[in-house]
Structure 1
Amino acid sequence: MSTSIRKIVTVVEETQVEGGRSVSPPTRRAAAIAVIENPFAGQYVENLDVLIAIGEELGGLLGERAVAALGIPGDSVESYGKAACVGAEGELEHAAAILHPKLGAPFRKVLGKGAALIPSSKKRGGPGTPFDIPLGHKDAAYVRSHFDGMEVRVNDAPRDNEIVVAVAVTDSGRPHPRVGGLTKGEIKGEDGLR
């Protein structure tokens, strides 16, 4: 690994009741989160290739951990997302460098597919800052039942010179979806949209 990882946190959330009604089977989502040193904290650097390479490494590592936490094969994952929170001495562009150019390919490889764009978010914060990992269906962005998010936080991160990087996966959409649109059963999975 080309970066210093201080901590990895894995979170699994299982919803068994929603709106007073049982959810059967329960919906589950998992996030794998890495707390890494920001090599460019406190300085402006034009070339962010180092962070892009870190993103590529984290895509596979965190993807594998999140899928393992759900205990399902990668190709059974239905939705995914990614997010990062930079400490006070970092830039939002540092999070973008990790999340966008190369993190996706190794993450998708763990899942066996992933035709849709991976939803993402980035923010700046201090230790314990909650942040949301947006979620969408991995093969068809128009599947409304899978528009969702997972809030995560690490109690002691990010420190000023750190970045918290997270990916999330689900085994289903939201509990009791009923807002219409393209259904999971109608997915073609060819263009990432439908």
Structure 2
Amino acid sequence: MTRAKIRKLVTVVEEVRAEMGRAVSPPTRRAAAIAVIENPFAGRYVEDLEPLMAIGEELGGILGEAAVRALGIRPDQAQGYGKAALVGAEGELEHAAAILHPRLGKPLRAAVEKGAALVPSNKKRGPMGHPLDIPLGHKDAAYVRSHFDGMEVSVNDAPRPDEILVAVAVTDSGRPLPRVGGLRHEEAEGKDGLR
């Protein structure tokens, strides 16, 4: 298997304790685990992106487990997830797609136990320090509106032109003080990825 050449790992935990002057109890928490990796195809067109797909599979486990660990929860206590990648200037969006889509999801789902719903994703190109939005959704039921969210991350020195910043986010709850209706977390069955 191709191994990712990781320059840096970053983990960020966000805990919201109050919103609009109201207490959020228990606090909502989300963690992002980020890998800054070398882009093996920077600066050139390559037809076969298999090595990036293998890197995605490797990073799905590394980053998913790191995010769960950062929250200090058991895998079954994770409620939401998302993934994103930011490609440096010498890469292309298809490099991010190769990392995120074919294989990253399976090890991420193992890290959060189950994960019946599609993993929301985002990909973009940008310079060092550029913000990356990781879209979030409920891990088992896409119709749980309280978990439609996002987490913005950035790394001040990444991605360099020949790098890719790959990020996974995991939550232990939905948005703070949700009140737009829809299926609730407690009602989710997680059988079809929707309900």
Post-superposition offset of 1:186: 1.6
TM norm structure 2: 0.98
TM-score (norm 1): 0.99
One-letter amino acid matched to 1:14: E
Shift of 1:170: 0.4
State the AA in 2 paired with 1:169.
V
Runs of 5+ consecutive residues of structure 1 not aligned to the other structure: none
Structure 1 residue 20, shift from structure 2 partner: 1.1
What amino acid does structure 1 have at the position aligned with 2:74? P
Give the CA deviation at 1:188: 1.4
How big is each residue's C-alpha offset from its partner over 1:48-72, in whole Å with a ceiling of 9 and x where there is no partner?
0000000000000001100000000
Q: CA deviation at 1:112?
A: 1.5
Cα distance, 1:110 vs. partner? Answer: 1.1
Q: Which residue of 2 aligns with 1:65?
A: 66
Quote how far apart the aligned CAs of 1:184 are. 1.2
Match of 1:115 in 2: 116
Corresponding residue of 1:8: 9
Match of 1:50 in 2: 51
Q: How many residues are paired up?
A: 194
Q: C-alpha distance in 2, partners of 1:68/1:3?
A: 21
- For 1:165 and 1:149, the matched residues in 2 are separated by 15
Asked if 1:87 corresponds to 2:73, the answer is no
Distance 1:129 1:177 in 2: 29
- Tell me the residue number matched to 1:41: 42
Query: What whole-Å deviation, never above 9, does each CA across 1:135-177 have from its counterpart, x for those lacking one?
Result: 0000000100000000000000000000000000000000110
Q: Percent identity?
A: 75
Name the SS for the 1:3 alignment partner: coil
Secondary structure at the aligned position of 1:94 is classed as helix
